[in-house]
Amino acid sequence: MHAELTPENLRELVGRFYAAVREDDMIGPVFNAAIDDWDHHLDHIAQFWASGLLGVGRFTGRPMAAHMRHPIEPEMFDRWLAHWARTTDELYAPALARGLQARASRIADSFKLGLFYRPSQREDRDQA
């Protein structure tokens, strides 16, 4: 069990997490259809976390745009967060795992807003 975050154990986390995600009957098909080179993807996502959490390296990419072209549904985020919680609980000390889970929850909320919140559609419904 890790007591601190490092780029190396973040890469371990990402690898274990996505191994579980890929086997999931709800979200696995979306990820498996979207990603051709898993090694590259895992390195890229580990860099995202290392950059955001540790200020190490530079993450390049546009995560929201990358996710917009896939068949993602709002309920899939609960499944994603459940896998994240299980994996972080396995790998990190409890306080650190909770911090990682809180960060992932904020990311999920941001993605849900970006992918599904459409104020103009709500206004149209409210006026009907």
Q: What is the pLDDT of residue 12?
A: 96
User: pLDDT tens, 48-80?
Assistant: 899 888 988 776 666 655 665 666 788 888 999
What is the structure's pLDDT at 56? 81
- pTM here is 0.84
d(CA 97, CA 84): 9
Contact (Cβ atoms closer than 8 angstroms) between residue 56 and residue 36: no
Going by pLDDT thresholds of 50, 70 and 90, the confidence category of residue 117 is: confident
- pLDDT above 90 covers what percent of the chain? 56
Residue 10: pLDDT band with limits 50, 70, 90: very high
pLDDT of residue 60: 65
Judge whether 16 and 90 are in contact, CB under 8 Å. yes
Complete domains list, the chain, with CATH: 7-123 (1.10.490.10)
